[in-house]
Amino acid sequence: MHHPATAAFPVFSLPNDFSACPNITMNQAKRPRAEVSSQPRLYPDRVNGSMGYQSKVRVTDKYKVVGFISSGTYGRVYKALGRQGQPGEFAIKKFKPDKEGEQASYTGISQSAVREMALCSELNHPNVIRLIEIILEDKCIFMVFEYAEHDLLQIIHHHTQQPRHPIPPTTIKSIMFQLLNGCQYLHTNWVLHRDLKPANIMVTSSGEVRIGDLGLARLSYKPLHSLYSGDKVVVTIWYRAPELLLGSRHYTPAVDLWAVGCIFAELLSLRPIFKGEEAKMDSKKTVPFQRNQMQKIVDIMGLPTKERWPLLTSTPEYSQLPTLQPPISHGHHHHHGHHYQAQRQAGSVSQLEKWYYNTINQHTNSGPGPSSAPLASLGAEGYKLLAGLLEYDPEKRLTAAAALQHPFFTTGDPVSSNCFAGLKTEYPHRRVSQDDNDIRTSSLPGTKRSGLPDDTLARPLKRAKEG
């Protein structure tokens, strides 16, 4: 994987437009930066005045909480309205203070919260969720984000309801373009997201895609420093790239592009393409080989080979590959001699093309007329984009910038900046509970820390959303 061709250590200066694809008209309006309040704060304003860390403001003085959205290892997310004339709706993420064991002693702010605050304060792009402000109150951190009515998990789920019906191809194309555009911005600014999945991709009611939940994101401009050592396990397992499954310790933005490929496949088929079961750590906190997840990938992609992926043999878990079943003989264990070798060679053949065409040519009974296989219009270019994103070798995998230039986006229907454009139906709104909407309560049921050293280890278990 090659680093983006930008000046060394760029300072978040990518223009907020869809310039990667100049012949496609997208919304180029620059979004406002986060506002600076006149209240006292812990730190002076930065030169560009984009973010204030407020210590003398109570969250309930500025915002009226209207409901509870979700909870996770970090704390809880609430929906709110502004009390001081701020337009729009907000999602307030409340981080609970870190505690040692069962004692209520304050030990500081979790690594995950610090990362998310630091990165979100700097990022400013139409396809990345916007942080409005950070409020510190009673040793709790409140991150106030713009509110997004939908997320991809919710949209996919809606389409699985009877009668099951595919997501329209124009919607998929717009979501993919906006998602890749957000990824390109992050990667150009040396940020790896590392936890891309449908639940973390927000969609506003006006059809704008926003990458959310940067709690696992981190800067990648120190290539000699192992990004693996600090966190051990990163990325929800179904979206985890093969180089991570094989123990790679110096990974690159390519891990995010594999996850984008998995999301593309899930938008097409309405189910995770590689739905494995996670092997848990042992008592010594050693990370096990995720055999089941790797097998799910091999079943569709074939076995990786050093011809397809030259650096495969240098991955720490390379010796585990012979324990996997080739797709053509999956479930059979009677290999002998040269038959076994022939099976291995045949087993390296990818079944992805077959999977893709079976998926897009599925006929539906919903809707009148000849469009009984509505996804068929995505055609061969859709397969080529998917194959480029789900490339075993991270060096050969499409970058976000290259994917944005893919013919998939310039053939057929034009890309819209509103992924809901032309849709006759409206997606259901996010569920907001009224039962537990007191943002000031210190009790946080269901978020016990289980003695984990920091939030990142438990993160993959949550499906919480940012708003």
pLDDT tens, position by position, 380-426: 999 999 999 999 999 999 999 999 999 999 999 899 999 999 998 88
243 touches 315 (CB < 8 A): yes
Please check the confidence at residue 4 and state whether its pLDDT lies above 90. Answer: no
More confident residue, 288 or 83: 83
Q: Residue 232: what pLDDT?
A: 46
**DSSP output for 130-149:** PEEEEEEETTEEEEEEE--S
Q: Residue 26: what pLDDT?
A: 38
Q: Which CATH code for domain 53-149+431-461?
A: 3.30.200.20
Alpha helix (H) ranges present in 167-236?
Answer: 169-188
Domains of the chain, residue spans: 53-149+431-461, 150-409
Please check the confidence at residue 245 and state whether its pLDDT lies above 80. Answer: yes
DSSP code, position 36: -
Which helix (H) or strand (E) element contains residue 210?
strand 209-211
Do the two domains 53-149+431-461 and 150-409 of this chain adopt the same fold?
no
The CATH architecture to which 150-409 belongs is: Orthogonal Bundle (1.10)
Please check the confidence at residue 334 and state whether its pLDDT lies above 90. Answer: no
pLDDT tens, position by position, 21-56: 433 333 334 454 444 343 434 433 444 445 655 557
pTM: 0.79
pLDDT tens, position by position, 173-208: 999 999 999 999 999 999 999 899 999 999 999 999
CB-neighbour burial class of residue 99 (10 A; exposed 0-12, middle 13-18, buried 19+): middle
Please check the confidence at residue 172 and state whether its pLDDT lies above 90. Answer: yes
Q: From the DSSP assignment, how many helices (H) and strands (E) are in the chain? A: 11, 11
217 touches 116 (CB < 8 A): yes
Residues with catalytic function:
195
Point out the least confidently predicted range of 63-67, 250-254, 426-430: 250-254
Residue 366 banded pLDDT, cuts 50, 70, 90: low
As a whole number of angstroms, the distance between CA 177 and CA 18 comes to 9
Which region, left, alpha or beta, applies to residue 439 given φ > 0 means left and ψ of -120 to 50 means alpha?
A: alpha
